[in-house]
Chains A and B, each alone.
Chain A
């Protein structure tokens, strides 16, 4: 059993928090994990990605081979499309519906969403607003993580625990916010 996940977005959107939660949860569930991330110049408003690999056997490559990702979670719809070559046939796409337009030539959103909808297994969620409604749009990343729960090789409880561990230093309020965002996400079941 091996699950390959690509996390995509724009620097500062909270990809590394999702990655850290997946890592921590995998460790708690005694699974092997490898997770590569982008540091340095690209973090400044540029496209960023993280490869997360979780398995019950040792993992070799830090990078997911193209055509082998089971799931792409994107905090921004165009960034989802950037990593399509990694997706395995009929793999899952989970994305926020809201574009992050810090570039002048951002494509027409309708076309972006149309492209995503050509894939059988997709879920487009207004995660930003779900997060905003519970107190902070920054928790959109947790909504998306929750939405992908059925594809993950991790239990809900172990992820909730990992959220607690990761945000421990930031206090009760931040833990609660992220927990709620994650749970809201789990309610938007992929298989519906």
Chain B
């Protein structure tokens, strides 16, 4: 069947057709659409594939491992920085191995379109000693997803499929294969594998290391690691993932005059690279992300100048590739004729009209003269836009949940008062443990949970925090008299300022829940949210 899909949707369809029994994920650009596609898929509904969002990437990865333990195939999806959160589970599942196929889709964001860094997830694959696949187009994304499950079951290992923003969010036509059935429920043959006490873990690690030769041999003969010969051996090109497209684009409808080693499967096929290296005058390494392959080929002291790429300066060290950057590295001229006129000004993203975060920031900003500049710690979500004009309320954005422990640490250092602003979903993702630390020490900080009843930034997905915030905060030990719910509306501005002021200057832990639903949530979803809140608060 022919389908017109995003790269992310190609993966989702590939996973359904590969016979998954569950997808586990926390939303994060550019990975979100994979899970959403499966949630909306008819076949997925008929087969009752698990599709609910997880509280964070770590719980998602662990639940997927549980499903794999029970013999079934599980897909885990996250953005690159999500793997930092899930890395404890990920690194150790490489040691334990898997039972049913387990594939992690990690969507990297080179050029940081929607992220705080451009870390390259291929490092994690090498770190954990597991195979990585990196598709170059939508069709490969579809094909490699099933191949990833096969590889995972062949080696009893988790497999990373690495995506990048451009492929995740680009649409094209794919041809699908016949869908296959799910695995049966089976207990692992060697259940000791999953008991990572040192006695067993040592054996498992030896087994993992022993698999490396076979993984490498697979890479050497993989149909996805293709050598495309040509006449001109002055340059040998190594491409990974979508970099191949940018090379081909530069020669339009003609064949590339230089030999290309097009790589989509790791570990890096040593023999193939060696052959290219020995036969060509120079080697141009084109990889999206970090110069991982280039660094391995290049000599440490830069005596050998044969290898070109991001480290040599032939390709910019940071940011994503594009056809023009690659063309320049190939020594081609580009056809750019016009410049951006000087009158064009930037148009950064902004909070929506009517957004509750706006009213919250207005209230906090009214208090800045009393509390002093730069006492507000921020977190990840739409409200990060509060770090920009016209608000300039938020002063930090580091990682999911960092606002609360950072406010506490600054308070430990003597800064008073300190405020943490965190969203509802970010709070249940990674904020709760930080709050527990602050409660245990009765730190004089104020945590403001800006609760808009959704994971708004990524498109208003279900928030795990829905209807549970008051109960969670009470359960963690926030004293009831310092746990306040406010409605951040313009007409409540003065009352809200008074409430926030009172809690700010209280010398102990306090939590303010600023509660008003995201204005982008459609009416139908709002009704469902109300029902969920009612059901959860009544219990």
Q: Which residue numbers of A lie inside 8 Å of B, CB to CB?
A: 10-11, 19, 23-24, 27, 32-47, 57, 59-68, 78-79, 81-82, 84-85, 87-89, 102-103, 105-108, 111-112, 115
CB neighbours (8 Å) of A103 from chain B are 345-347
Q: Closest approach, in angstroms, between the C-beta of A107 and any C-beta of chain B? A: 4
CB neighbours (8 Å) of B106 from chain A are none
CB neighbours (8 Å) of B172 from chain A are 32-35, 59, 62
Is the Cβ of A67 less than 8 Å from the Cβ of B347? Answer: no
CB neighbours (8 Å) of B433 from chain A are none
A–B pairs, 22, beta carbons within 8 Å:
A23-B4, A32-B173, A33-B173, A36-B169, A37-B170, A39-B30, A39-B32, A40-B113, A45-B351, A45-B352, A46-B347, A46-B348, A60-B249, A63-B322, A65-B250, A65-B324, A65-B327, A79-B347, A81-B341, A87-B338, A103-B346, A103-B347
Is the Cβ of B245 less than 8 Å from the Cβ of A115? Answer: no
Is the Cβ of B113 less than 8 Å from the Cβ of A67? Answer: no
Partner among B246, B334, B340 whose Cβ is within 8 Å of the Cβ of A61: B246
Is the Cβ of A66 less than 8 Å from the Cβ of B171? Answer: no
Is the Cβ of A67 less than 8 Å from the Cβ of B337? Answer: yes
State in angstroms the CA–CA spacing of A89 and B351 once bound together.
Answer: 37
Most central of B33, B244, B346 by chain A CB within 10 Å: B346
State in angstroms the CA–CA spacing of A23 and B4 once bound together.
Answer: 8
State in angstroms the CA–CA spacing of A85 and B334 once bound together.
Answer: 11
Q: Which residue numbers of B lie inside 8 Å of A, CB to CB?
A: 2, 4, 29-30, 32-33, 113-114, 166-167, 169-173, 242, 244-246, 248-250, 253, 322-324, 327, 334-341, 343-352, 382, 385, 457-459
Most central of B170, B324, B348 by chain A CB within 10 Å: B170
Is the Cβ of A11 less than 8 Å from the Cβ of B4? Answer: no
Is the Cβ of B324 less than 8 Å from the Cβ of A66? Answer: yes
With A27-B173, A37-B170 given, is the CB distance from A10 to B114 under 8 Å? Answer: no
Partner among B29, B244, B335, B352 whose Cβ is within 8 Å of the Cβ of A68: B335
CB neighbours (8 Å) of B33 from chain A are 39
Partner among B166, B248, B340 whose Cβ is within 8 Å of the Cβ of A81: B340
List the 4 closest A-B pairs by CB distance, nearest first.
A67-B335, A40-B29, A46-B349, A40-B114
State in angstroms the CA–CA spacing of A102 and B245 once bound together.
Answer: 37
Is the Cβ of A65 less than 8 Å from the Cβ of B339? Answer: no
State in angstroms the CA–CA spacing of A78 and B337 once bound together.
Answer: 18
CB neighbours (8 Å) of B340 from chain A are 81-82, 84-85
CB neighbours (8 Å) of B242 from chain A are 62
CB neighbours (8 Å) of A45 from chain B are 347, 349-352
State in angstroms the CA–CA spacing of A43 and B459 once bound together.
Answer: 10
Partner among A38, A42, A44, A88 whose Cβ is within 8 Å of the Cβ of B351: A44
State in angstroms the CA–CA spacing of A106 and B343 once bound together.
Answer: 9
Is the Cβ of B350 less than 8 Å from the Cβ of A102? Answer: yes
CB neighbours (8 Å) of A107 from chain B are 343-345
CB neighbours (8 Å) of B345 from chain A are 78, 103, 105-107
Q: Closest approach, in angstroms, between the C-beta of B277 and any C-beta of chain A? A: 25
Q: Closest approach, in angstroms, between the C-beta of A42 and any C-beta of chain B? A: 5
Is the Cβ of B343 less than 8 Å from the Cβ of A47? Answer: no
CB neighbours (8 Å) of B352 from chain A are 44-45
State in angstroms the CA–CA spacing of A107 and B248 once bound together.
Answer: 39
State in angstroms the CA–CA spacing of A46 and B336 once bound together.
Answer: 25
Most central of A37, A66, A89 by chain B CB within 10 Å: A66
Q: Closest approach, in angstroms, between the C-beta of B348 and any C-beta of chain A? A: 6
CB neighbours (8 Å) of A41 from chain B are 29, 113-114, 349, 382, 385, 457
Is the Cβ of A62 less than 8 Å from the Cβ of B173? Answer: no
Q: Closest approach, in angstroms, between the C-beta of B249 and any C-beta of chain A? A: 4
State in angstroms the CA–CA spacing of A59 and B170 once bound together.
Answer: 12
State in angstroms the CA–CA spacing of A44 and B459 once bound together.
Answer: 11
B335 closest partner in A (C-beta): A67
State in angstroms the CA–CA spacing of A19 and B457 once bound together.
Answer: 22
Is the Cβ of A34 less than 8 Å from the Cβ of B323? Answer: no
Partner among A10, A46, A88 whose Cβ is within 8 Å of the Cβ of B337: A88
Is the Cβ of B347 less than 8 Å from the Cβ of A27? Answer: no
State in angstroms the CA–CA spacing of A10 and B350 once bound together.
Answer: 11
State in angstroms the CA–CA spacing of A63 and B111 once bound together.
Answer: 14
With A24-B4, A63-B166 given, is the CB distance from A85 to B339 under 8 Å? Answer: yes
User: Given contacts A35-B172, A65-B249, A81-B344, could you give 10 more A-B pairs where the C-beta distance is less than 8 Å?
Assistant: A10-B347, A39-B114, A40-B457, A41-B349, A42-B114, A45-B349, A62-B172, A63-B323, A78-B344, A81-B341
CB neighbours (8 Å) of B171 from chain A are 19, 23, 33-37
Is the Cβ of B4 less than 8 Å from the Cβ of A67? Answer: no
Partner among A19, A40, A63, A106 whose Cβ is within 8 Å of the Cβ of B30: A40
CB neighbours (8 Å) of B459 from chain A are 39
State in angstroms the CA–CA spacing of A138 and B75 once bound together.
Answer: 38
Q: Closest approach, in angstroms, between the C-beta of B472 and any C-beta of chain A? A: 27
Q: Closest approach, in angstroms, between the C-beta of B82 and any C-beta of chain A? A: 14
B109 closest partner in A (C-beta): A40
State in angstroms the CA–CA spacing of A11 and B246 once bound together.
Answer: 27
CB neighbours (8 Å) of B344 from chain A are 78, 81-82, 107
State in angstroms the CA–CA spacing of A47 and B134 once bound together.
Answer: 29
With A46-B349, A46-B350, A63-B322 given, is the CB distance from A38 to B382 under 8 Å? Answer: no
CB neighbours (8 Å) of A108 from chain B are 343
Is the Cβ of B458 less than 8 Å from the Cβ of A40? Answer: yes
Partner among B169, B250, B335 whose Cβ is within 8 Å of the Cβ of A39: B169
Most central of B169, B172, B327, B350 by chain A CB within 10 Å: B172
CB neighbours (8 Å) of A34 from chain B are 170-172
State in angstroms the CA–CA spacing of A65 and B322 once bound together.
Answer: 7
